[in-house]
Structure 1
Amino acid sequence: MAVSPGFFDRDFLARRDEAAVELMDGPDADLGMLWRTYDRFRLVNRFVSNQRAVYRRWVRPRLSPIVTRRVLDIGTGGADLPRAMLAWARGEGLRLEVTAIDPDERAIAWARRQPAEPGLVLRQVTSRELADAGERFDVVTSNHVLHHLDGHEFGALLADSERLARGGGLAVHGDIERSRLGYAAFALGTLPFARTLLAGTFIRADGLTSIRRSHTATELRAVLPRGWRVRRGFPSRLEVVWSAGV
């Protein structure tokens, strides 16, 4: 089925579905499917996450060919975004180190099985643990993490980000914006690949669940702490941004 049976209901996606659970988040998720999901993310995120735009707008302006800058990627999954950023920076002669963290040992285990990437540091740790240890980064980022969090976890992530980027840094957390158009586009756009590229993965089912769990720009503006702002991006993207000293 291309879309949810309730898609044509007037109230479909009117409210965030916090009770919806993504299959890959389950502790009993099939490990083979989970690792295939991480592998395919490298392709899918090029289209749904607009990774190059994130790098160009937020990361590249802070890089230098002389001084190594540090980026933290929270909830990195298979670390496809850090690997892409490191390759782009290296191609431009810019010095970058990316610390990619995830509390899920399955994600870090998969990422560590991949070919070594110069400048990539993989750690099974939380943002709170790094902040408590006094770590500092030039850019703190995440991709498709916010919709996984409840209200307390959301606030904690933003507080951790401020501590980790303190001293002139920047935090930017990218996520999906919930909308009927975005839901339909993902459902229909992934349908031709359901039995090929996406077969044996959680990407299509969990992607639709992610949209149901995600926020709108209006919802985020109503709850963001002082100093944080929301920026809309393409396609159906939101960026929650904080800059030290602003």
Structure 2
Amino acid sequence: MPLLDTGAPPFFPPDLSRRAVDAVEEMDRPDCDPVRLERTYAQFPVINAVVSGWRRNYRRFVRPALSTQGGGTVLDIGSGGGDLARALARWAHRDGLTVAVTGIDPDPRAHTYAESQPAVPGLTFRAAFSSQLVAEGQRFDVVLSNHVLHHLDTQAFDGLLADSQALARALVLHSDIERSPWAYGLFSAGTLPFFHGSFIRADGLTSIRRSYTSAELAAAVPAGWEVRRQRPWQNLLLHRPGR
């Protein structure tokens, strides 16, 4: 009996031995379905809470960098729908820190969605590239991003690292997925019953295919950057200016 073709990606792709740099995520297409895109932004808080580990990163890295002066400034590059920037602002407020969080994204669709959500004290959004903030002479205590690195070509990747170094006073953290057959298979199976009507599942699988292994990421960054592997299947790229 033939298998039913559901249109869903297989649990395991043909090859994960190298990055699928030519694969394109649906939400990155300028003509993607706007309804599905908005649902994707709305569902990001759920999927990021499960797989991204930013509560841990905040406690271990961000909060200590800010607490010495009772607060500070944070820049979230490629902030998308704004869920991480909102979470950082809320966590810092609960910890008694006076923090100004700025989320930037050059995609006007992402910026519009982020701005449409309820206001959070100390949080602002801009439709901008990191290079624009460098040109303006902006500085932030902490510069970070979530699941941005795998989207970038070599020139944009190098530009992001250079911009981050120029913008950060104390700490840079770029967190991204680590490519792995297990990550692909478990994400494919785990998201199959959920996230219908959005790009979460299909684009998540494409993201894994495009992502770096830890060794690849370490080979791609200049001196002064540290790659740390985190569970489950995350790479954390860390830089401390002046060290």
Gaps of at least 5 residues in structure 2 are 1-5
Instruction: Give the Å deviation of 1:68.
Output: 3.6
Q: Partners of 2:121 and 2:140 in 1: how far apart?
A: 18
Q: Which residue of 1 aligns with 2:231?
A: 234
Instruction: Give the Å deviation of 1:140.
Output: 0.4
Which segment is superposed worse, 204-213 or 43-52? 43-52
CA gap 1:25/1:3 in 2 versus in 1, 3 angstroms = closer
What SS is found at the alignment partner of 1:170? strand
Q: Partners of 1:138 and 1:65 in 2: how far apart?
A: 11
Residue 4 of structure 1 pairs with residue 10 of structure 2: yes
RMSD: 1.5
Which segment is superposed worse, 53-62 or 153-162? 53-62
- For 1:39, which of 42, 55, 71 is the aligned residue? 42
Residue 146 of structure 1 pairs with residue 142 of structure 2: no
Q: Partners of 2:104 and 2:12 in 1: how far apart?
A: 36
Q: Partners of 1:118 and 1:6 in 2: how far apart?
A: 43
Q: Which residue of 1 aligns with 2:167?
A: 164
Q: Partners of 1:124 and 1:152 in 2: how far apart?
A: 21
Percentage of identical aligned residues = 53
Residue 128 of structure 1 pairs with residue 131 of structure 2: yes
Residue 107 of structure 1 pairs with residue 113 of structure 2: no
Residue 98 of structure 1 pairs with residue 101 of structure 2: yes
Deviations 1:199-245 (A, max 9, x none): 11000000000000000111111121111110111210001111111
Which contiguous aligned blocks of 4+ residues in structure 1 show a shift greater than 4 angstroms?
none
Instruction: Give the Å deviation of 1:51.
Output: 1.6
Q: Partners of 2:141 and 2:61 in 1: how far apart?
A: 10
Q: Partners of 1:65 and 1:58 in 2: how far apart?
A: 12
The answer to whether the Cα contact below 8 Å between 1:64 and 1:95 also exists between their aligned partners in 2 is: no
Q: Partners of 2:55 and 2:84 in 1: how far apart?
A: 9
Question: What amino acid is aligned across from residue 106 of structure 1 in structure 2?
Answer: R
The answer to whether the Cα contact below 8 Å between 1:170 and 1:242 also exists between their aligned partners in 2 is: yes
The answer to whether the Cα contact below 8 Å between 1:65 and 1:94 also exists between their aligned partners in 2 is: no
Residue 20 of structure 1 pairs with residue 28 of structure 2: no
Q: Which residue of 2 aligns with 1:179?
A: 180
Q: Partners of 2:71 and 2:229 in 1: how far apart?
A: 29
TM-score (norm 2): 0.94
Instruction: Give the Å deviation of 1:36.
Output: 0.7
Q: Partners of 2:229 and 2:68 in 1: how far apart?
A: 30
TM-score (norm 1): 0.92
Question: What amino acid is aligned across from residue 134 of structure 1 in structure 2?
Answer: G
Which segment is superposed worse, 77-86 or 65-74? 65-74
Q: Partners of 1:129 and 1:100 in 2: how far apart?
A: 13
Aligned residues: 237
Q: Partners of 1:63 and 1:229 in 2: how far apart?
A: 20
